[in-house]
C-alpha cells in the first residue's frame, strides 16, 4: 500500500512558498479503492467543508504532521493524462504562474460528464417519522416525496423545487 497520493485541486491562490507545485494535497486511499489509483485519474475528495474534484498527480510521504483524510471515490476508469503529459502541464503551470490544478482542469474538456450534486435520500428514521403524527404538513410532503422516489436519491434541486412549491403553507398546514 502506498503511503499517500498527491492530489491537485483546480483552485487558485494555493501556491505556497518554496515551489509552484506545493499546491498539491495529500490523501489516503481506502483499501477498497487501492486498485483503481493511478496518476491522471480524478478523485472525489473532502476539501475544507465540501467535496471537491481533484487530479492524482503523484504518490509519496505526506509532510510531517499532516493528518490524512481518505478520498471518497475514483471518478475515472482510465487516466486522463500520463506522466509525460503531466510534466508538460507542470511546466505550463510554472510558466503562467498558476496552480497545477487549474491547468489540469483547463487542459481537459469541460463535458467529461462529472458534476458534483448533492443527493438526498430518505433515512430509516425519516421513514419512521413519516408514519407518526409528529410532523407538520410541509415536512410530511417532503418526506413522502423522498419515500416515493423508489429508493433512488433525489437531486437537491428537486427537493428545493418541492419546498418552494409548498412555501405557501404555514407550519399548521393552512394557506398563508
Average pLDDT, the chain: 78
Taking only the tens place, the pLDDT of each residue in 28-86 is 999 989 989 999 999 999 998 888 899 999 998 888 888 999 999 998 889 999 999 99
Taking only the tens place, the pLDDT of each residue in 83-96 is 999 999 999 998 98
State how far the Cα of 65 lies from the Cα of 132, in Å rounded to an integer. 49
Q: What is the pLDDT of residue 5?
A: 96
* Structural domain boundaries in the chain: 5-106, 119-165
Which range is least confidently modeled, 32-46, 130-144, 147-161?
Answer: 147-161
Going 158 to 48 to 81 to 96, the CA torsion angle's sign is positive
State how far the Cα of 82 lies from the Cα of 38, in Å rounded to an integer. 9
Which range is least confidently modeled, 56-60, 102-106, 168-172?
Answer: 168-172
The CATH superfamily holding the domain 5-106 is PriA, 3(prime) DNA-binding domain (3.40.1440.60)
Going 142 to 148 to 152 to 158, the CA torsion angle's sign is negative
Cβ partners under 8 Å of residue 98, min gap 6: 12
Cβ partners under 8 Å of residue 97, min gap 6: 15, 20
State how far the Cα of 53 lies from the Cα of 98, in Å rounded to an integer. 18
Amino acid at each position: 500500500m502506498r503511503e499517500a497520493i498527491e492530489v491537485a485541486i483546480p483552485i487558485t491562490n494555493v501556491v505556497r512558498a518554496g515551489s509552484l507545485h506545493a499546491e498539491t494535497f495529500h490523501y489516503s486511499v481506502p483499501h477498497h479503492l487501492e486498485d483503481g489509483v493511478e496518476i491522471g485519474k480524478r478523485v472525489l475528495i473532502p476539501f475544507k467543508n465540501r467535496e471537491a474534484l481533484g487530479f492524482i498527480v503523484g504518490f509519496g510521504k505526506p509532510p510531517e504532521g499532516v493528518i490524512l483524510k481518505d478520498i471518497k471515490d475514483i471518478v475515472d476508469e482510465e487516466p486522463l493524462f500520463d506522466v509525460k503529459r503531466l510534466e508538460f502541464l507542470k511546466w505550463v503551470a510554472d510558466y503562467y504562474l498558476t496552480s497545477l490544478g487549474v491547468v489540469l482542469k483547463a487542459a481537459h474538456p469541460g463535458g467529461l460528464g462529472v458534476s458534483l450534486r448533492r443527493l438526498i435520500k430518505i433515512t430509516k428514521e425519516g421513514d419512521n417519522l413519516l408514519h407518526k403524527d409528529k410532523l407538520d404538513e410541509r415536512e410530511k410532503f417532503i418526506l413522502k416525496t423522498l419515500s416515493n422516489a423508489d429508493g433512488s436519491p433525489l437531486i437537491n434541486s428537486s427537493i428545493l423545487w418541492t419546498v418552494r412549491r409548498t412555501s405557501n403553507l404555514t407550519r399548521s398546514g393552512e394557506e398563508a
